[in-house]
Structure 1
Amino acid sequence: MTSTTKTLSLTGSKLVPTLFAAALGLVLITLTGHVQAAALHDAAHDVRHATGFPCH
């Protein structure tokens, strides 16, 4: 009786998107940590108006 074992590894096709997502997440967290709360609120508010969602 023989058995086969498959190993999971990050190949070249999965490594680049994973690293990109991690870098993007780190950048977003870092930037939002240093921005004033009013600027974040205004940006979210403008996006809601631009996409047609009511916010008031």
Structure 2
Amino acid sequence: MNGSIRTFGTDVSAQSRLMQLALAGLLGLFVIGFVGFSHVEAAHNAGHDYRHSMAFPCH
């Protein structure tokens, strides 16, 4: 084994997989941070309503 995952005819190395996960995590943190602390009322309210719909306590 060479440490890669074969999916749909492409080789994905472990390093590439970790980079994808890290970038997805950073994007998620950015979106949550932007929406959670946004001064734009529509963006903040949309995030707030989503948190309530997922039964996530926010206050």
TM-score for the superposition, normalised by structure 2: 0.46
User: As a proportion of its length, which structure holds more strand?
Assistant: 2
TM-score for the superposition, normalised by structure 1: 0.48
